[in-house]
Structure formats: C-alpha cells, structure tokens
Amino acid sequence: MRNEYAQLKEYMDQSRKTVAVTGAGISYLYGMRRLKQSVGRMNAGRIFSASYLRKNPERFYAIMKDAFLDATFVKGPSTVHKQLAELERQGKLYGIVTQNLDCLHTVAGSKNVIEFQGSFRDNICIDCGTRCFDYQVWNQGHMPRCEKCGAPLIPTAFNRESGAGSEVSRESMRKAADLISQADLVLVIGTTGFRSEEYLSRMRDETKLVQINPSETQFDRIADLNIRADAAEALDAVLNR
C-alpha cells in the first residue's frame, strides 16, 4: 500500500467526524457534461428565466438532460459516489458537502449530503411557488410540472427572479459551514475549491485536511496530506485494507 493511503487510513481511524467535500471532478469523469457544452452559444443565465421556461419548457428539459440528468439517471453514480456512501454506512463518514447539482451522492445512497449550490432535489413552480422536494420528478422523460397549477418546475437554487434561489443558496452554505465546523477530518475530493472560503472559514485549527486529486489546486498549501491519485483507488485502499 502506498504510504499516503496508509496515512489516510490512520487519519480516518482516529477521526470521530470525517466530512468529505466533493466537486465536479468526480462527476465529469463519469459522464457529466459542463453546462456550457449543452447550452452552446446561448446565454446560460437566460435559460433559467421564467419567461424562457414558459416558452421553451421541453428545450429547457433537453438541456438539463444533456448536461446533468443522463449522468444521474442513465449512467448513475461513479465508484467514488458509491465508496463514500459505503463509508457513511460503516460509520466512517459523517457527511458530505458538495458543489454538485446532480444528486449522484443521494442516488448512491449517501444520507447526510449538503448541496451548497442546490440540486434537482429541491424544485419550485415558476408560477405559484409550490416546492417539490423530489429529484425523481426529473426522471419521467419530460419537463416536470407543478401538481397544483401545471406550470414548469425549476430547481429552486436556479430561480433567482423570486428571491427563493438566493435564500436557498444562503441556507445551504450555512449548513455546509456548520457541517465543516463539526469535523476533525476533512477529505477534499475532485474540487479546485469553488466557494471554499465560505465553508472552510469555519474549519477548526486542529482539524486535518486531506486532498485527493491528481492535479494541483489551491488546497495544496493548506492540506496536511496531498494524495496525487485517482480517488477511487485511494478510497478502495481505505475500505479494503
């Protein structure tokens, strides 16, 4: 076993509350596309407006399907998503903070997941404001509609016009920061640190930080341990040692 894996295993054995922070790296490797690729020449911000949704609901759904939903419902969770869910099941992982919208942690079986950018688990009607907390509404092959009024649903975090999206983002980040504040070990996996200053500011001085990423990131300078390897390989060593 690589020395870094043995050190990671030791840290996790000693930890009472380990929290994983994940980013787009664990999804792009397994079929997720960048939104800009799916949108093409369109302005990404425009497609999330209520006016665009009312006129082009199925086009909006097609973009979401190409960018996110096929990876969630067709290709499914990656090995890393499943490993993190298993670590939580075994009591070795307290929770996950993720920037990802794709719900793949939930699909994999993780329970304590904070999605600080929102996700397809939390949706709102663009007309009457009814909320729907079920990512499966996006797994019906067409644009999901409000059960009360029939208008299109949109992930609440995307809905900036009503103010609900901003409120959800603030509350999600507060929960993420609270979770990090409880950790004595933080595993950073597949992220370069998008908005990390907002949640890592709550990390205690004595908390250890381990980064698992083949590439250099801003976490290099603050990590207690940098593992330059595929996350699935590193986590497999922890689970199966």
pLDDT tens sequence across 191-215? 988 888 899 999 999 999 999 998 8
pLDDT-above-70 percentage for the chain: 91
C-alpha 155/C-alpha 133 separation (Å) is 10
Does the pLDDT value for residue 237 go beyond 70?
Answer: yes
Does the pLDDT value for residue 135 go beyond 50?
Answer: yes
Does the pLDDT value for residue 109 go beyond 60?
Answer: yes
Does the pLDDT value for residue 40 go beyond 80?
Answer: no
What is residue 26's predicted lDDT score, i.e. its pLDDT? Answer: 87
pLDDT digits (tens, 9 = 90+) for 41-84: 555 567 778 888 999 999 999 999 988 899 899 988 999 999 99
Query: Mean pLDDT across the stretch 17-33?
Result: 78
What is residue 36's predicted lDDT score, i.e. its pLDDT? Answer: 47
Query: Mean pLDDT across the stretch 141-166?
Result: 88
pTM: 0.90
What is residue 45's predicted lDDT score, i.e. its pLDDT? Answer: 64
Contact between 120 and 155 (Cβ < 8 Å) = yes
Lowest-confidence pick of 71-80, 110-119, 124-133, 161-170: 161-170
